[in-house]
Amino acid sequence: MTTPTNSSQQPARAGGNFRWVICTLLFFSVALNYIDRNIIGILKPHLSEKLGWDENDYGTIAAGFSFAYAFGYLIGGRLIQRFGVRYGLPGFVFFWSLAAMAHGLCGFIPAESVFRLGTFALPATALGFLCARIALGLTEGGNFPGAIKAVAEWFPQKERALATGLFNAGTNVGAVICPVGVPWLLKHVGWESTFFITGGLGFVWLFAWWFLYESPERSKRVSKSELAYIQGGKTITAEAAAAEKKETMPWGRLLSYRAVWAYIIAGILAGPVWGFYQFFLPDFLYKRYNLDLQQTGIWTGVFYALAAVGGVFFGWLAGKLFDRGWTINATRKVALLICAVSVVPVFFAPYVPSIWLTVFIVGVAGSAHQGWSANLFSFVSDTMPKKAISSVVGLGGFVTYFTGGVVSKATGWILQETGSYVYVFAWASLMYVLSLVAIQLLVPRIPQTPEEA
């Protein structure tokens, strides 16, 4: 792949770093988001034994979250576009924190109760969790559209993949805290209070957000030189920026962009793989190596620690290549190619004899997924005007998690019928390569600026 010199003039180094404070806020919102959604994966063995769930019951609960999260992403993208990041994102955090705490209320449901509707039967506790997971999915869906839009507003193009990788590392930090901390909470306060405590952390974040966040054009903490750096040397008034951020693009026009279809196809193919890691990897390790809950949590934490490296490294790599004169097309495509190839060995995860090698192989794949996500999110801001970014991210998230719901239910069925994860890992190993082929066919050249698209 050729790498023609980037001829666009880059602005001088910013005279401030407050944009990284905003990135830190986004990091913690994502960390909380993942703590609240990942708890159920860690507690699956305990809840299944305690409440009498089988694999299909858990698959239904996981699928319910994924389907709800799909619609939450779709609706959240439009609401973030309509109300802006300052008001839209904390609104979602408020409601998902309540939904996370609601899981603990299922402890009041008798474990022996069964809900029946015709031939459909589900333990009443599983139905309660399903309702709480649906509420959580609908409200958590606004997080990533809001975060990606905030990055597009607060960072110049060359730093967006790095900023995205850094805040997206919150997924892994949250996921590391979860398997390490949740077994401890379970032991000392029970599973009901575990949900109450972790869900309540969102209200701490809300305080920090209201104290620190404002748009870069209005923030008193941003120097003039940093604002000029963020805006790429352009002068944009606060009023013009506010009008642009709240302007939305009709769905029909969005779907006329080839880049949108590339993003959708990548979401359908590769996006659900991460959901598989979230909801089923702890169970795979638990069964494959006969671990106890604490050991499962530790090894799952190691996986997420490895995965955290990918988003930051590949975001940094993209900025480095861009600084060296690579086009944005070469920068994104090379980063995505390395990530796609790094996932392929996950095919062998069910076959290796030692847990450390299994976790290493899956951890490299998870790291590659995070790097893939950082650059794919940045692909949206590379190819679309700001008024469309959160809507496109929301649309892509919708198809990703709707497909993820199908995958979760299918995974539960496969496990019930075969007792093996081999087929699922084989599927995961190929999805990123196929996604990159689709991206290349639909968008042979990523423009240097969205205005060139």
Higher pLDDT, 3 or 349: 349
User: 181-229: per-residue pLDDT in tens?
Assistant: 888 888 888 888 999 998 999 999 999 998 888 888 888 888 888 888 8
Range with lowest mean pLDDT among 79-93, 122-136, 339-353, 392-406: 392-406
CA 330 to chain centre: 24
Is the confidence at residue 92, as pLDDT, over 50?
Answer: yes
Confidence of residue 13 (pLDDT cuts 50, 70, 90): low
Amino acid at residue number 91:
G
Cα dihedral 35→41→42→47 (10° resolution): 120
Higher pLDDT, 421 or 168: 421
CB-count exposure of residue 42 (10 Å: 0-12, 13-18, 19+):
buried
Domains defined for the chain, CATH in brackets:
18-452 (1.20.1250.20)
In the prediction, which pLDDT does 73 show?
A: 79
For range 284-296, the mean pLDDT: 85
Q: What is the 3-state secondary structure (H, E, C) of 286-345?
A: HHHCCCCHHHHHHHHHHHHHHHHHHHHHHHHHHHHHHHCCCCHHHHHHHHHHHHHHHHHH
In the prediction, which pLDDT does 155 show?
A: 87
CA distance 376 to 393: 10
In the prediction, which pLDDT does 251 show?
A: 67
In the prediction, which pLDDT does 237 show?
A: 45
Is the confidence at residue 40, as pLDDT, over 50?
Answer: yes
Range with lowest mean pLDDT among 223-232, 233-242, 259-268: 233-242
- Token digits for 320? 């480095």
Highest mean pLDDT among 250-254, 372-376, 382-386, 393-397: 372-376
Confidence of residue 3 (pLDDT cuts 50, 70, 90): very low
Confidence (pTM): 0.69
Confidence of residue 60 (pLDDT cuts 50, 70, 90): confident
CB-count exposure of residue 17 (10 Å: 0-12, 13-18, 19+):
exposed
Tell me what the pLDDT averaged over the chain comes to. Answer: 83
The secondary element (H helix, E strand) that includes residue 115 is strand 114-117
In the prediction, which pLDDT does 448 show?
A: 67
Highest mean pLDDT among 4-13, 94-103, 385-394: 94-103
Highest mean pLDDT among 127-131, 239-243, 324-328, 393-397: 127-131
Confidence of residue 5 (pLDDT cuts 50, 70, 90): very low
- Token digits for 318? 């993209």
Higher pLDDT, 401 or 94: 94
Confidence of residue 355 (pLDDT cuts 50, 70, 90): very high
409-418 core/surface letters (b: 16 or more CB in 10 A; e: else): bbbbebbeee
Confidence of residue 282 (pLDDT cuts 50, 70, 90): confident
Is the confidence at residue 453, as pLDDT, over 60?
Answer: no
In the prediction, which pLDDT does 166 show?
A: 83
* Alpha-carbon distances of 361 from 9, 191, 217, rounded to whole Å: 41, 31, 44
In the prediction, which pLDDT does 243 show?
A: 47
Identify whether the C-beta of residue 147 lies closer than 8 Å to the C-beta of residue 171.
Answer: no
CA distance 151 to 137: 23
In the prediction, which pLDDT does 43 show?
A: 86
Identify whether the C-beta of residue 163 lies closer than 8 Å to the C-beta of residue 309.
Answer: no
For range 251-276, the mean pLDDT: 88
In the prediction, which pLDDT does 344 show?
A: 95
